[in-house]
Amino acid sequence: RKEVEQDPGPFNVPEGATVAFNCTYSNSASQSFFWYRQDCRKEPKLLMSVYSSGNEDGRFTAQLNRASQYISLLIRDSKLSDSATYLCYLYSNYQLIWGAGTKLIIKP
């Protein structure tokens, strides 16, 4: 089993819709979790950290399910500018593990 798995997509979603995707991980000792977004031919940028109790930042909600070993990202009222690749990143004891990303395309 890969250390981190993400559905590569693309997810084609109409503007205004809600979309969610997951990132499953195999290392139960993973300590810190993050969602980054990467636009085409650009560097990854932090979207949000993922806290144990779940957290929200505007239209974005991140959740952590330790029992099932996944994190999720929910985007409400999606905008054209949300089109990007979303990478999950996990850190644990000097192990830096990145997912390959889920590509999201928001259509007008």
Helices H, strands E: what count in the chain?
0, 11
Write down the least CB distance from residue 35 to another protein, Å.
Answer: 11
Q: Of the two residues 6 and 78, which places its CB atom closer to another protein in the complex?
A: 6
How far is 8 from 67, CA to CA, in rounded Å?
A: 23
Q: Of the two residues 75 and 101, which places its CB atom closer to another protein in the complex?
A: 101
How far is 78 from 75, CA to CA, in rounded Å?
A: 6
Write down the least CB distance from residue 41 to another protein, Å.
Answer: 8
3-state secondary structure of 87: strand
The residues of the shown chain that bind another protein, judged by CB under 8 A, are 31-34, 42-46, 49, 51, 85, 87, 89, 91, 93-94, 96, 98, 100-101
In this structure, what is the dihedral angle of CA atoms 19, 57, 102, 9, given to the nearest 10 degrees? 10
Q: Of the two residues 37 and 75, which places its CB atom closer to another protein in the complex?
A: 37
Write down the least CB distance from residue 1 to another protein, Å.
Answer: 16
